[in-house]
A and B are shown apart, each in its own frame.
Chain A
Amino acid sequence: MIEGRRGQWEAVIGLEVHAQVISKAKLFSGAATDFGAEPNTQVSPVDAAFPGMLPVINRHCVEQVLKTGLGLAAEINLHSVFERKNYFYPDLPAGYQISQYQQPVVGHGRVNLDMPDGTTREIGITRLHLEQDAGKSLHDKHPSLTYVDLNRAGVALMEIVSEPDLRSAEEAGIYLRKLRSILRYLGTCDGNMEEGSLRCDCNVSVRRLGEPLGTRCEIKNVNSIRYVMQAIEYEARRQIEIIEEGGRVEQQTRLFDAARGITRPMRSKEEAHDYRYFPDPDLLPLVLDPDWVKRLRAELPELPDAKKARLVSEYGLSADDADVLVAEKEIALFFERVAQGRSAKVAANWIMGELFGALNRLGIGIEQSPVSAQQLGALIDLIADGTISGRLAKDVFAEMVASAADPAAIVEAKGLRQVTDSSAIEAAIDTVLAVQAEKVAEYRAGRDKLYGFFVGQIMRATQGKAEPTLVNLLLKKKLAG
């Protein structure tokens, strides 16, 4: 809901996500797809559209798109067609992009969003299809010439089109994060927006509550979740202002200017293309073996929704904790390794608290964590069996992050083992009570609050190593007596 100057408005948003398929080779040629290679070093004559070159579909890319479709609970079309989308541009060597248009390989599906208020929203997927990426035009390398890098030309993309089911920038952000999470679980797209593996076109319109859909604008090629949210926010407000001032929204293709945080119309020559789609006569229709699809369905990994449900039911985690832990496959895996045979709640708290804090400070992901799941588990075990106290454990953890050493080794090396010898603790208590004779007298006279003071002094005297339960037991006895 957006508050306009005259009443309440609702944004209606649909997203077209272009996700680069994880594949060693391109969609229709054997050329490599490594990111960051020297310009024009990963280009075959097919990618450069030399005369007489023909496309041959890469089976692995089809498998990846099928997995994605299945992961989005979508219909798989056993018969689909590649078409040519015709337009001239120097980074489009053939003068057409091979894409799917009338008959995509994947039909209707859905994504469930976990909203911050604890509810769930289902967002429809309209379709998903396979297409080639274009190359890259570099306009800033020479004062009057444009350079063209064809390394990306022909790389496989999945275009994932959502229904116009999203209602706010925030929802769009949650949708993109969820989609990215699913793709990463499936291993079909690395979701790396900085490298351009995930790009997004946003269709935005606004309407007063309960009214029919407004005219939409498409914001092209936004390349981070934050930008998507900013672009939608800006665009919705822009449209509301136009309408509230008595104007009409013009259907347009717009660009997001990240530096200024605004959207603006694209250059006019980019507008109103007639792409002259027609079936690519160099490729036969894509006909899928139903058994192949069945097998892929059976081999599908556990996805975030299912994993979350299982973490709640099997480990007794709260929905909120489970949400955090399933956001990335690697985190969930880490959690399950730590929780194996231990308190799930304790494991979750350590991961979401100390571990996430450390990873954030280091600016790294859980895959690069200096503390392994096995080591964190060992640390939790040391607390559970009384070798160290919970408070000291945090120091041990900090040392583990710094040195990547095993917790037991750190405890030994630093002499942090908890003192459970009652005579040693008794001696420490005696010393403290002797030094603090005055306070002992006050306590015995009724100042109960001093009890905590004595515990603190005893822990200080033992460098925190005294086993707390034992301290309590013995201290109470001494004070009483």
Chain B
Amino acid sequence: MSDGSLLALNLAEARDGLARKVFSARELAAAYNDAVAEAKPLNAYITPTPERALAMADAADQRLAHGDGLPLDGIPVAVKDLFCTKDILTTAGSHILDGFHPSYESTVTDKLWRAGAVMLGKANLDEFAMGSSSATSWYGPVENPWRRLGDNRPLVPGGSSGGSAAAVAARAALAAIGTDTGGSIRQPASFCGIVGLKPTYGRCSRWGVVAFASSLDHPGPMGRTVLDVAIMLGVMAGHDVKDSTSALVPVPDFAAALSGDVRRLRIGIPKEYRVDGMSGEIEALWQQGAEWLRAAGAEPVEISLPMTKYALATYYIIAPAEASSNLARYDGVRFGLRVDGDSLDEMYELTRAAGFGAEVRRRVLIGTYVLSAGYYDAYYLKAQRVRTLIARDFTEAFERVDCILTPTAPSAAFIIGENTDDPIAMYLNDVFTVPANLAGLPAISVPAGLSGDGLPLGLQITGRAFDEETVLRVAQILENAALVRHRPSFIAGGGG
């Protein structure tokens, strides 16, 4: 098969091709290594690992030859550079982790490799996963492979898992893993026209994932189809004794849950999500989504999530608070960057000033402020209480409905450099995605249509805790109904 036609396969198809020996894992890995090189202008990868990809593919081929293939044998994936990978540079997109080669492998990547997956490289991201544009990386901004019709200005892929999303959309990865703290999987999935799932909090271990905001960080899969994401999640999920917040719940067969049957499911349409400034085409797409689900036999129901309007403010207190503490370990003492000074305090100041970018510094300062004596009650404690109320909104809603349909983001991808002067405008990207992080609920973004200027738009399905199965099943109905046939302007391998 040509590189182009190999790259056109989705994960499920590639898995079947490998099992039937239509092509080898090495051929597939080589094609993807070429694609990674070809996609270099997108800056989706910080560290490609082509040799390791070939070595892992060879090992997969051996197993496949013996007929004892593993669930992801030979599947080439991109790893957001927030996951620690043993002996491979791990940066979190930050200057401060210069030269950091972990001596350990994150639980989620370890599970992928044990399932036979092939590592293509470490994907670019917003520094410490803080951002909605993948433009705050020390390693430069990521470009979205899509372009507006008749407009060649580069667009952001969304963030923070923008490198992962761009790589999957540009066929420079068959699938990817990302993390989602306030929408960092779903918003870039929406911007790049792929599927991204934030599982339930506790479903996938955080061990070995560079922490941004521990109570909000969710590792999750990104892929071309809902089925691909379901297959990935099945491998990534599971209890981990090394993560005290990981859940001791069984891992179902997510792919088997994609029955296509959503009859009699009640789909919540929260009226509070009609926010100011949301474009008419997104509003229209949302209604279209509800119609598709109604046509498939589900029942859209208007619901109320009254606390929604406080979600973004709550998020931007809790996330920076945790981040300010989580990032204290980057002090120049034990690993990464150190800028020497005349005193200990000066060494700290110089190291952290040089090592952290503007957005990270901003959030560390906000977080330090909201935890300070005299402000703790007014900000952090209040935010935690509101967080509880937001979660209660969902609990009450799920007494009436089985999942909730909303847009993923209030806009399509924007031009690189836009929104950078106005952090609040940037933060508004997360307005629909943040509530699921605060409540720890599973939520998926699935490509559902195109904007007037030809950019992908996603719809989001949010479900009950640990009910990824319903979320995936409903998402697949939207995926099939929408049939987004447009493709990005840039596709590796010529799009064969």
Report which A residues bind B (CB closer than 8 A). 45, 48-57, 84, 86, 88, 90, 93-96, 146, 148, 269, 274, 276-278, 281-284
Contact = CB atoms under 8 A, between A and B. Distances in A.
A53 B206 CA distance: 9
Nearest to A86: B325
Which of A54, A55, A146, A283 lies at the interface centre, i.e. has the most chain B CB atoms within 10 A of its CB?
Answer: A54
Nearest to B344: A90
B125 interface: no
A276 B325 contact: yes
Contact of B210 (A51, A57, A148, A276): A51
Nearest to B329: A49
6 contacts: A45-B103, A48-B334, A52-B106, A54-B242, A86-B325, A93-B329
Given A50-B335, A56-B242, 20 more contacts: A50-B102, A51-B84, A51-B210, A51-B329, A51-B335, A52-B106, A52-B207, A53-B207, A54-B207, A54-B243, A55-B244, A88-B348, A95-B328, A148-B333, A269-B345, A274-B373, A276-B376, A278-B376, A282-B211, A284-B244
Nearest to A49: B329
Contact of A52 (B210, B322, B368): B210
B376 A52 contact: no
Nearest to A44: B104
B333 A90 contact: yes
Contacts of A90: 331, 333, 344
Among the interface residues A57, A88, A96, A146, which one has the most CB atoms of the partner chain B within 10 A?
A88
B328 A96 contact: yes
Interface in B207-233: 207-211, 213-215
B324 to A, nearest CB: 8
B92 interface: yes
A49 B100 CA distance: 13
A283 B211 CA distance: 14
Contacts of B324: 86, 276
A140 to B, nearest CB: 16
Interface in B86-123: 90, 92, 97, 100, 102-104, 106
B334 A93 contact: yes
A contact face: mostly helix, strand, loop, or mixed? loop
Contact of B104 (A45, A146, A277): A45
Nearest to B106: A52
Nearest to B246: A54
A95 B329 CA distance: 5
A144 to B, nearest CB: 10
Interface string B55-91: 0000000000000000000000000000110000010
B92 A51 contact: yes
Nearest to A91: B333
**A52, A93, A94, A96 pick with most chain B CB within 10 angstroms:** A52
A95 B214 contact: no
Contacts of A88: 328, 331, 348
A277 B92 CA distance: 26
A97 to B, nearest CB: 11
Interface of B: 83-84, 90, 92, 97, 100, 102-104, 106, 206-211, 213-215, 241-245, 321-322, 324-325, 328-329, 331, 333-335, 344-345, 348, 368, 371-373, 376, 380
Contacts of B210: 51-52
A74 B47 CA distance: 56
A283 B333 contact: no
B373 to A, nearest CB: 5
Contact of A281 (B214, B333, B345): B214
B329 A54 contact: no
Given A51-B100, A54-B206, A278-B380, A86 B328 contact: yes
Contact of B244 (A96, A277, A283): A283
A48 to B, nearest CB: 6
Nearest to A87: B328
Contacts of A53: 207-208
Contact of A278 (B84, B206, B208, B371): B371
Interface centre among B100, B243, B331 (most CB of A within 10 A): B331
A39 to B, nearest CB: 14
A93 B103 CA distance: 17
Contacts of B97: 51
A44 to B, nearest CB: 10
B102 A84 contact: no
Contacts of B215: 281
B244 A56 contact: yes
Contacts of B243: 54, 56
A425 B322 CA distance: 91
Contacts of B345: 269
B361 to A, nearest CB: 15
A269 B348 CA distance: 15
Contacts of A284: 244-245
Contact of A51 (B90, B213, B331): B90
Among A53, A96, A284, chain B packs the most CB atoms within 10 A around the CB of: A53
A148 B332 CA distance: 13
A79 to B, nearest CB: 16
A282 B102 CA distance: 20
Given A90-B333, A95-B328, A278 B321 contact: yes
Contacts of A50: 102-104, 329, 334-335
Nearest to B333: A90
Contacts of B329: 49-51, 93-95
A281 B331 CA distance: 21
Nearest to B206: A54
Contacts of A274: 372-373
A77 B97 CA distance: 41
A56 B348 contact: no
Nearest to B335: A50
B325 A52 contact: no
Contacts of B321: 278
Nearest to A283: B244
Contact of B102 (A52, A94, A277, A283): A52
A412 to B, nearest CB: 63
A148 B244 CA distance: 28
B242 A96 contact: no
Nearest to A96: B325
A289 B359 CA distance: 44
Which 8 residue pairs are nearest across A and B when measured between Cβ atoms?
A95-B328, A281-B214, A281-B215, A276-B371, A52-B208, A49-B329, A51-B210, A52-B84
Contacts of A269: 345
Nearest to A284: B244
Contacts of B102: 50-52
Nearest to B374: A274
Nearest to B215: A281
Nearest to A275: B373
Contacts of A57: 244
Nearest to A274: B373
A101 to B, nearest CB: 11
B244 A86 contact: no
Given A51-B97, A278-B380, A84 B325 contact: yes
A281 B437 CA distance: 14
A50 B100 CA distance: 10
A94 B214 contact: no
Contacts of A282: 211, 214, 244-245
Nearest to B104: A45
Contacts of B241: 56
B276 to A, nearest CB: 32
A57 B244 CA distance: 8
Contacts of A96: 325, 328
Contacts of A86: 324-325, 328, 371
A284 B215 CA distance: 10
Contacts of B214: 281-282
A52 B211 contact: yes
A475 to B, nearest CB: 83
Contacts of A277: 371
A124 B27 CA distance: 74
B378 to A, nearest CB: 14
B206 A95 contact: no
